[in-house]
C-alpha cells in the first residue's frame, strides 16, 4: 500500500470531491426558494432592449407585424414573458400582427397563440380582424423564407384553425397582406435567432428585424445588433423584465420579475459554486506544493 493512500484526506480535498447530489439539492432549494422571496430589483433597460422598443414605436400602422414564434417549452421561462410584453406593446399601439409557426417546432404555435389570445382579451383584439395565427409550414432553409416573402398567403395557405387565408369573412385582416411589403416589422422569438431572416428577408427587403431570444444564445446576436441588421433584442428573462419596465406596466402585469429573481439567485449560486470550487482547488494546490 502506498503511503499517500493511507493518509486521510483533508477537508478541502474532500470538499473538492463533494457529492454532486448535495449540490443539486442545494440548487433546487435555492431555485424553489427564490419563487417565494419578494425581491424587486429595478431593471435598467439595456440599449438593445430600448432599440426594440423604438422599432415597435416606429412600426407603421398600415402594415402588420410578423411574430415568429419559434420557441419551445424548454425556454418558456424566458420567451413567454418576452412575448407577453411585446404583445402588450403591439396592442397598445393598435398594431395588427400575425404569428408564424414552423413545423420543426410545433410548440411555438401553441404558445404564441395562447399568449396572444390572453393579451388580446385585455385590449379587445379580435381574431381574424386584428391578429391571425398562421398554420404550421415546413421550414428548412432560407428558400422558404424567400418564397414566403413574395407570396405570404400562397405560401402559408391556412391559419391555425385550417381556415384559408383567402377567406374574407373569417380573416378580413389577411386580405391586405400579400407579400413582405405588407410587413412593417418582424420580431423573432427563439432559442437562438435564425440568420436566414437576415440573409433572405432583412438584407433583401430591408424589413426591420428584431429578436427575442434566450440569454445563453444572445451573445451570437450582439454583432448584428451593433451593425443595425437586427433592430433590437430582448435577451432572456432579464430582457422581458426590462421591456415591462419600458412599457411601465402595472405591477400585476409584470410576470417577468419572478423569473429574473430566480435567474439572479441561480447565477449567484453558480458563481458561488465556481468560487468555492476554486478556493478549495487553489488551497489544496498550495498544500501539495
229 contacts another protein (rule: CB under 8 A): yes
Site for another protein (CB under 8 A): which residue of 12, 76, 164, 283? 76
Stretch touching another protein by CB under 8 A, among 3-11, 79-87, 118-126, 225-233: 225-233
- State whether residue 187 is helix, strand or coil: strand
What residues between 185 and 204 interact with another protein by CB under 8 A? none
DSSP 71: -
- x/- contact string, 250-289, with another protein (CB under 8 A)? ----------x--xx-xxxxxx-xx-xxx--xx-------
Nearest approach, Cβ of residue 53 and another protein (Å): 7
32 contacts another protein (rule: CB under 8 A): no
148 contacts another protein (rule: CB under 8 A): yes
Nearest approach, Cβ of residue 28 and another protein (Å): 8
What residues between 167 and 186 interact with another protein by CB under 8 A? 178-179, 181
Mark 11-45 as b/e (b = at least 16 C-beta within 10 Å). ebbebbeeeeeeeeeeeeebeeebeeeeeeeebeb
Cell of 218: 444572445
**Cα 19 to Cα 17: distance, rounded to the nearest angstrom:** 6
Nearest approach, Cβ of residue 194 and another protein (Å): 14
Q: Where are the alpha helices (DSSP H) in 46-181?
A: 47-57, 76-92, 106-123, 142-150, 152-156
- State whether residue 64 is helix, strand or coil: strand
- x/- contact string, 92-111, with another protein (CB under 8 A)? -----------x--xx--x-
Stretch touching another protein by CB under 8 A, among 5-13, 41-49, 79-87, 118-126: 41-49
Report how far Cα 10 is from the mean position of its chain's Cα atoms.
46
DSSP letter string, 204-268: HH---EEEEE-GGGGGGTHHHHHHTSS-EEEEHHHHHHHHHHHHT--GGG-TTHHHHHHHHHHHH
9 contacts another protein (rule: CB under 8 A): no
Stretch touching another protein by CB under 8 A, among 6-14, 80-88, 118-126, 213-221: 213-221
51 contacts another protein (rule: CB under 8 A): yes
What residues between 108 and 147 interact with another protein by CB under 8 A? 110, 127, 137-141, 143-144, 146-147
* CA–CA–CA angle 234, 69, 133 (5° rounding): 130
Q: What pairing do the DSSP bridges indicate for beta strands 232-235 and 183-190?
A: unpaired
- State whether residue 199 is helix, strand or coil: helix
Nearest approach, Cβ of residue 39 and another protein (Å): 9
Which residue's CB is nearer to another protein, number 2 or number 267? 267
Which residue's CB is nearer to another protein, number 2 or number 161? 161
Size of the site for another protein (CB under 8 A): 87
- Tell me the Cα Rg of the chain: 23
11 contacts another protein (rule: CB under 8 A): no
Nearest approach, Cβ of residue 42 and another protein (Å): 6
Amino acid at each position: 500500500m502506498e503511503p499517500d493512500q493511507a493518509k486521510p484526506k483533508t477537508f478541502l480535498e474532500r470538499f473538492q470531491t463533494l457529492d454532486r447530489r448535495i449540490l443539486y439539492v442545494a440548487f433546487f432549494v435555492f431555485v424553489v426558494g427564490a419563487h417565494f422571496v419578494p425581491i424587486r430589483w429595478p431593471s435598467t433597460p439595456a440599449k438593445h432592449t430600448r432599440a426594440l422598443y423604438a422599432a415597435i414605436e416606429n412600426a407603421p400602422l398600415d402594415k402588420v407585424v410578423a411574430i415568429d414564434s419559434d420557441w419551445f417549452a424548454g425556454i418558456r421561462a424566458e420567451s413567454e414573458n418576452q412575448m407577453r410584453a411585446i404583445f402588450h406593446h403591439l396592442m397598445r399601439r393598435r398594431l395588427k400582427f400575425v404569428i408564424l409557426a414552423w413545423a420543426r417546432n410545433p410548440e411555438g404555435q401553441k404558445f404564441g397563440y395562447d399568449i396572444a389570445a390572453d393579451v388580446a382579451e385585455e385590449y379587445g383584439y379580435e381574431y381574424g380582424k386584428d391578429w391571425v395565427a398562421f398554420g404550421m409550414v415546413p421550414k428548412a432553409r432560407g428558400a422558404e423564407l424567400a418564397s414566403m416573402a413574395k407570396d405570404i398567403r400562397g405560401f402559408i395557405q391556412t391559419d391555425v384553425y385550417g381556415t384559408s387565408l383567402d377567406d374574407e369573412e373569417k380573416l378580413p385582416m389577411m386580405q391586405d397582406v400579400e407579400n413582405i411589403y405588407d410587413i412593417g416589422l418582424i420580431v423573432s422569438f427563439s432559442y437562438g435567432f435564425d440568420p436566414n431572416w437576415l440573409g433572405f428577408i432583412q438584407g433583401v427587403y430591408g424589413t426591420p428585424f428584431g429578436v427575442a431570444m434566450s440569454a445563453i444564445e444572445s451573445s451570437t446576436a450582439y454583432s448584428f445588433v451593433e451593425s443595425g441588421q437586427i433592430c433590437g433584442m430582448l435577451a432572456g428573462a432579464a430582457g422581458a423584465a426590462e421591456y415591462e419596465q419600458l412599457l411601465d406596466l402595472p405591477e400585476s402585469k409584470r410576470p417577468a420579475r419572478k423569473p429574473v429573481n430566480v435567474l439572479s439567485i441561480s447565477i449567484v449560486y453558480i458563481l458561488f459554486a465556481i468560487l468555492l470550487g476554486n478556493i478549495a482547488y487553489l488551497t489544496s494546490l498550495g498544500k501539495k506544493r
